[in-house]
Amino acid sequence: MSGPLKRDWKVLSEETCFEGFFKIIRYRLTHTLFRGGWMAPVTRELFERGSAVGVLPYDPVTDQILLVEQFRIGALHEQTPWLLELIAGIIEPGESLEAVARREAEEEAGIVLGRVRPMQSYLSSPGGSSEKIHLFLAEADLAQAGGHHGLHDEGEDIRVVLMSPEALFARLDAGELNNAMTVIAAAWFRERYRNQTLWVS
């Protein structure tokens, strides 16, 4: 393996192409090349979606996990646009990651979280988006969980779905979980659930 590479980049110009609920910025930039020298200037659009938190609630007493089901425009051309997902929400300015997890759990599932721990953080689609996802595992009393939730003024219509960990793993293996946040969390949870290391850092 060769020695360390000199990595650098320069933003030559930037322009906001669209600004609404989300933002799109067009950059003209250059960066160093692996073979040496600099790349000829290129133009790239960046979807500034904001970062988000996803949380998987687990009840060790009933041995159940909680997912939510809701309509997603990005899945409009899939077999169904209603997806099983983690509870999730965008981070508001000044809000901690744990605070987002707790707020969204109440809004989307009507539950109060106990202790939480980080699972994984990742860039969801770095080829064109700045979005970073932070996943958490949380303890929760799910004995009375269920029903329909969400903020109606934000167009949310959310159904709570409870299942056993093994049912979750079966859906994972069958390819029935089709969004990255849920797939990553389910795989992380399975390894630690079966090794009994859910709360071991």
> Which of 154, 156, 166, 176 is the catalytic position?
154
- On whether the CB atoms of residues 123 and 145 are closer than 8 A, the answer is no
Helices and strands in the chain, H and E counts: 3, 11
Q: Which residues partner with 161 through β-bridges?
A: 67
- On whether the CB atoms of residues 59 and 142 are closer than 8 A, the answer is yes
Task: Assign 190 to helix, strand or coil.
Answer: helix
78 catalytic? Reply is no
Q: Say how many C-beta atoms besides its own lie within 10 A of residue 171's C-beta.
A: 17
Question: What is the Cα Rg of the chain in Å?
Answer: 20
Please list, residue by residue across 104-136, b when 16 or more beta carbons sit within 10 angstroms of its beta carbon and e when fewer do.
Answer: bbebbbbbebeebeebeeeebeeeebbbbbbbb
Q: Tell me the catalytic residues.
A: 154
